[in-house]
């Protein structure tokens, strides 16, 4: 069984993430979406909220693609998370050349830690290349329209959270 791990903070999950998940499903039998607990980033949504939003999208995508999708929170090294879930493939989405520089370093380090785990890069579709969770939050905070960047459920969650701030 080919198991892939798609890690990220997903704060919040965007249509760009959904696109990578959908396309990643074609490459693996089981896709684990690893939700990173990164205290340094100061997420807008807590871990349970992020996991819940992802589970909604994952259920829909699993039904569409026939691929088993699981959501797994982690706070350890990415390579250790991959081992924990039995992944032989780490999926990473790329939007721009600047993403590649960081990802290139990560691959090199991960290969040193465990050369049996491959990293596969998927380029974001053109309409999703500009989407970044950080920018989506800022647009929503300033009362802009984020409907082209997130699902309706995520948009509603963003509006609720930012109204509370």
* Identified catalytic residue from 22, 30, 92, 133: 133
Question: Could you tell me the CA-to-CA distances from 85 to 69, 104, 132 in Å, in that order?
Answer: 12, 23, 27
17 has catalytic annotation: yes
133 has catalytic annotation: yes
What's the distance, Cα to Cα, between the start and end of the chain in Å? 45
Phi-psi region of 84 (alpha: psi -120 to 50; beta: other; left: phi over 0): alpha
134 has catalytic annotation: no
Q: State the virtual CA torsion across 38, 39, 43, 45 in degrees, nearest 10.
A: 90
* Identified catalytic residue from 23, 60, 72, 95: 95
User: Which residues are catalytic, by number?
Assistant: 17, 41, 95, 133
């Amino acid at each position: 069984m080919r198991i892939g791990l798609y890690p990220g903070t997903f704060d919040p999950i965007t249509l760009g993430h959904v696109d990578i998940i959908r396309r990643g499903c074609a490459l693996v039998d089981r896709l684990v979406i690893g939700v990173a607990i990164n205290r340094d980033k100061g997420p807008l949504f807590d871990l349970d909220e992020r996991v819940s939003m992802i589970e909604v999208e994952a259920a829909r995508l699993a039904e569409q693609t026939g691929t088993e999708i699981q959501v797994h929170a982690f706070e350890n090294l990415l390579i250790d998370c991959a081992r924990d879930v039995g992944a032989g493939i780490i999926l990473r989405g790329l939007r721009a050349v600047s993403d590649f520089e960081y990802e290139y370093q990560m691959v090199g380090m991960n290969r040193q830690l465990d050369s049996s785990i491959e990293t596969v890069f998927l380029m974001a579709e053109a309409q999703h290349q500009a989407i970044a969770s950080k920018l989506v939050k800022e647009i929503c905070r300033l009362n802009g329209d984020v409907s082209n960047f997130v699902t309706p459920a995520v948009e509603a969650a963003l509006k609720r959270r930012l109204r509370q701030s």
